[in-house]
Structure 1
Amino acid sequence: MDTWVHIVGGGLSGLSLASALARHQVLPGPVVISEPEPERLAQKTFSFWLTDEEHAFLNPEYTQSKWQVSAEEFTISHTGQSFRYGTRSGQHVLDECQAVIASHPQINQVKEVIDATPKAEHVFDSRPIAPSSFRLIQSFSGTEVEFQRPHQIEAVGLMNRIESTDSGIRFVYVLPLGAKRVLIEHTEFTTKLADLSALQSMNRDYLSGEFSTNPFQTIRTESAHIPMGFRSTASHLGIPIGARGGMTRDATGYGYRTIRYACEAIAHDLVTNNQ
C-alpha cells in the first residue's frame, strides 16, 4: 500500500506528529518517519509555560511557580498564579513518543537521510534549517550538574546577569531540576553565531563561583543555535512544521508548547478530513 503520510525529520515536531497520529487506532494508510539520528533529541531540554489543566497533555517532569530576571542594577521576581514554568528533558520526550509510535502497526520509523521529496499523499518536513537563514539567533550552551547537597535555588532564572555584547545581549539561564540538579545556560540573542565553547566555559566559571562550597558533578552538556525569525525562505520537501514551519516564537525561541498543540491539530485533521 502506498505511503499515506511521510514525516521527514524525527526531532520534536516530527515525533510529536507521529505520536499524535499513533494515538488514533486506525489510520487511512501507512505512515513513515525518517530520521538518521533519533537519539539526538535526548540531548535537548524543553521549557514552556502551562496551566494546571494542561499538565497531562504537556507532561512536564518539573514545574516551577517562581521566576526572575536580573541585571547588575535590578532584579525582578514573580510568582505565577495561573501559569507554571514546566520542563521536560529530550530523553523524556523521546521515550514517550517512541513508545507510542512503536505500538502502532501502521507507523514505521526508518533511520535514513531524505534529501528529495518522498512519494506519499502527505509529506511533512521537520528538518532543521541552516543558521545562515536566521534573522536573529539564540546561541546557547548548557551544563546540567548534580550537587552533593541541595542547591537551595527557589526560582527559575529566566534572564540573569543581562549584559550587552557587540552583536546583541547575553544572559545566564538557571533552571533547577529537583533538589540537587540544576541546568546552567549562557545564552546570547545575537545577529551572528556565538562561540558555543566560550559560552560553555562561562558555565564552568559561573558554577565554580556561585557554588564553590557545594561539590558537583557534570551530568551532560548541550549547545545549539535556535532561530529567532528567518531572513530568507528555505526550500522544503513538504509542508514545513516545527521551527521550519514557524512554530517557535521569534522573540524567545520557545517552541515546545506550540509544536505539541499544532501537531495534535494536524493529526486530527489528517485522520478526520484527510487534509
Structure 2
Amino acid sequence: MAELPHYDLVIIGGGCAGFSLASKLSEYGEKAPKVLILEQRKNYTNDRTWCFWDIDHPAYQSLASHAWSTFEVANRERVHHFDCNQHPYLMLESQHFYEAAIKQISNHPKIQLMLGQEVLSAPINTDQGWHISTAHTVFTARQVIDTRPPKKINPQDSVLWQCFVGYEIQTQSDCFSPEKMVLMDFDHTFEHGLAFIYILPTSEKKALIEYTVFSENIIPKQQLITRLKKSITQKIDRQPYELLRVEHGTLPMGYTLTQQYKASTYLYAGLFAGAARPSSGYAFQRIQSWANKCAQSIVSEQKLYASPKEQWVQSSMDGLFLNVIKNNPTRAASLFEDLFNRCELNTVVKFMSDQATLGDYFRIIKSLPPGPFIKALPGFVIQKIFHRLGWAK
C-alpha cells in the first residue's frame, strides 16, 4: 500500500483565515512547517469585500482599493456627516487579497494549495496523526486547523445574525460621491430586526450597495435582494444600472456554540470560532492578529493557537449591547445615532477596532441612554451565568 501524503499541518479551507495563517507561516522561511491548504473551490472570484479603519497600521492596508475620509449616518430625515480623515475607512477587495496570498505561498517550497478538494467527513485521529479524506485522496497530518463554518446553523446559536446582500453596480450617469461613504442609512420599514443601507462608492458611477439586517433570525437571501433592489432604485432615482457582481453573507454576532477539540492538535478557526467581533461582525483585522500569533506559536512551540477570548469589559459591553438591540429593534437605530453623535469619533473607531482603553469604554457608555441597558441587564447577567455553567440558553 502506497504511503499516504503527510504534512505537519493541514489547513481545511483556503479563505480569509486559512490564507492569512499560511501567508504568515511563509514569512518564517525554512523554519515554516510543511503545510497543505485544502480548498473546495476550483477557482477564486471577487466574492466579498472587507472594510476596516486605518488605525495603527492595519494589515494589508497597502492592498486597499479605496479609502474614504468622510462618511454619513442617516436615521429618518436626520443625516449626520463625519470627518474620519484621521482614521480613513479602507476597502479591501477579496480578489486582491487572494492574489497576494496565493503569490506569497506559491513561492514557498513547503506550503501547498490544492483547489477542488472537499473534505468529505470529519478527520480521524490515529496513532499516525490525523487522516483527512477528500474525494481524490487521503492526507495525514500532525496538526489540523479547520476554518469551515458549521454544516448546520441554527438561529438560536447566536444572539443576533448579520445578514446582508450587496450589489456592485455601474450607473449611466453620476450618482455617487466617491469621497464619502454611507456607513448606515436605517430602513424603518423592516419589522424583524435592525436594517440599514451601506454604500461604498468608488467613482461617480460605481458603488457597492449592501442591504444589512441585524436579526434574531437568519433572513433569506431573496428577501434581502428584494429590499436591496428597492433601496437601489430609490438611491439612484430609478436610473438604469448594470449589475457587476453580488455579495452575500451571514455573520454571527455573539456566537458561542463552537467548542474546541479535546485534542490539542486540532483547532477550529475563523468566523465561527471567535474571529467575528460580536457587536459589529468585523473580522478581517481580528483574523490577521490571530494568524500572526498562531504562526508564531506553531513555529516556536509547535502548538496551535486559538482566537483569544474577549476581554471581560469588551465582552460584557458587546453582549449587553446585542441584547439591547435584540430586545429593542425599533430603538436600535437611535442608539447607533447617539453613539456617533455623542461620542468622539476617534473613541468609536478604537472601540470598533478592538483598541479601546478603559477610558474609551467609559465614554462609550456615557454617550448612550441608560434606560434600555438597565432594563436588559438582569436578563444579560442570567444569560452569562447559564453560559458559564454550560446550560442551555
TM-score, length-normalised on structure 1? Answer: 0.89
Corresponding residue number in structure 2 for 1:160: 185
In the TM superposition, residue 206 of structure 1 has moved relative to its aligned partner by 2.2
User: In the TM superposition, what is the alpha-carbon distance from 1:38 to its structure 2 partner?
Assistant: 5.9
Partner residue of 1:242 out of 252, 265, 270: 270
Instruction: Please name the residue that 1:143 is paired with.
Output: 167
Cα distance 1:238–1:164, how it changes in 2: closer, same or farther (>3 A)? farther
**Distance in 2 between residues matched to 1:80 and 1:20, nearest whole Å:** 30
Aligned residue for 1:131, secondary structure, equals coil
**Segment of structure 1 superposing worse, 159-168 or 259-268:** 159-168
Give the Å deviation of 1:51: 2.7
Deviations 1:236-260 (A, max 9, x none): 5921222122111111111011112
Are 1:27 and 1:106, in contact at CA under 8 Å, matched by a contact in 2?
A: no
Contact kept? 1:131, 1:227, Cα under 8 Å: no
How far is the alpha carbon of 1:101 from its aligned partner?
A: 1.4
Q: Rg bigger for which structure?
A: 2
Question: Match for residue 226 of structure 1?
Answer: 251
Counterpart in 2 of 1:67?
A: 71
Distance in structure 2 (CA, Å) of the matches to 1:226 and 1:21: 27
| Preserved CA contact (<8 Å) 2:174 2:205 | yes
Answering whether residue 283 of structure 2 is matched by residue 261 of structure 1, we say no
Aligned with residue 45 of structure 1, among 38, 49, 52: 49
Whole-Å separation in 2 of the counterparts to 1:120 and 1:171: 45
Describe the SS at the equivalent of 2:194. strand
Shift of 1:228: 0.8
Deviating more after overlay: 34-43 vs 14-23 = 34-43
Unaligned 5+ segments in structure 1 are: none
Q: 1:216 is matched by which residue type in structure 2? A: Y
Counterpart contact for 1:62–1:178, Cα < 8 Å: no
Q: Secondary structure at the match of 1:4?
A: strand
2:207 is the counterpart of 1:182 = yes
Please name the residue that 1:113 is paired with.
Answer: 118
Paired with 1:189 and 1:82, the residues of 2 have a C-alpha distance of: 28
C-alpha distance in 2, partners of 1:205/1:235? 42
Quick one: which amino acid aligns to residue 71 of structure 1? N
Whole-angstrom distance in 2 between the partners of 1:3 and 1:55: 28
2:293 matches 1:272: no
Distance in 1, matches of 2:70 and 2:291, equals 29
TM superposition shift of 1:235? 6.4
Partner of 2:350: none
TM-score with structure 2 setting the length = 0.64
Secondary structure, counterpart of 2:29 in structure 1: coil
Cα deviation for residue 140 of structure 1 reads 0.7
* Alpha-carbon contact 1:158-1:174 (below 8 Å) kept: yes
- Larger relative helix fraction: 2
Cα 1:24–1:149 change in 2 (3 A) is farther
Distance 1:97 1:70 in 2: 37
Instruction: Say if 1:155 and 1:208 are closer, same or farther in 2 by CA, change over 3 A.
Output: same
Name the CA distance, whole Å, in 1 between partners of 2:69 and 2:99. Answer: 26
The unaligned stretches of length 5 or more in structure 2 are: 124-129, 131-139, 304-393
Moved more, 76-85 or 162-171: 162-171
> Contact conserved, 1:11 with 1:41, CA < 8 A, in 2?
no
3-state SS of paired residue (1:135): strand
Q: Deviations over 1:213-253 (max 9, x none)?
A: 75431101121211112253356592122212211111111
Distance 1:232 1:56 in 2: 30
Q: Identity over aligned residues, as a percent?
A: 25
* Structure 1 residues 141 and 93: alpha-carbon distance in aligned structure 2, compared to 1, 3 A threshold: same
Question: CA 1:260–1:120 in structure 2 vs 1: closer, same or farther (change >3 Å)?
Answer: same
1:62 shift after superposition: 1.0
What letter is aligned with 1:8? Answer: I
Partner Cα distance (1:267, 1:78) in 2: 38
Cα pair distance change 1:52/1:231, threshold 3 Å: closer
Which stretch of structure 1 is more off in the superposition, 149-158 or 221-230? Answer: 149-158
Distance (whole Å) between structure 2 residues aligned to residue 232 and residue 41 of structure 1: 30
Number of the residue aligned with 1:125: 146
| Aligned equivalents of 2:63, 2:40: Cα separation in 1 | 26
1:35 aligns with 2:39: yes
Larger RCO (alpha carbons 8 Å, 6+ apart): 1
Taking the aligned partners of 1:191 and 1:58, their CA distance within structure 2 comes to 36
CA–CA distance in structure 2, aligned partners of residues 226 and 58 of structure 1? 26
Q: 1:235 to 1:165 in 2, by over 3 A?
A: farther
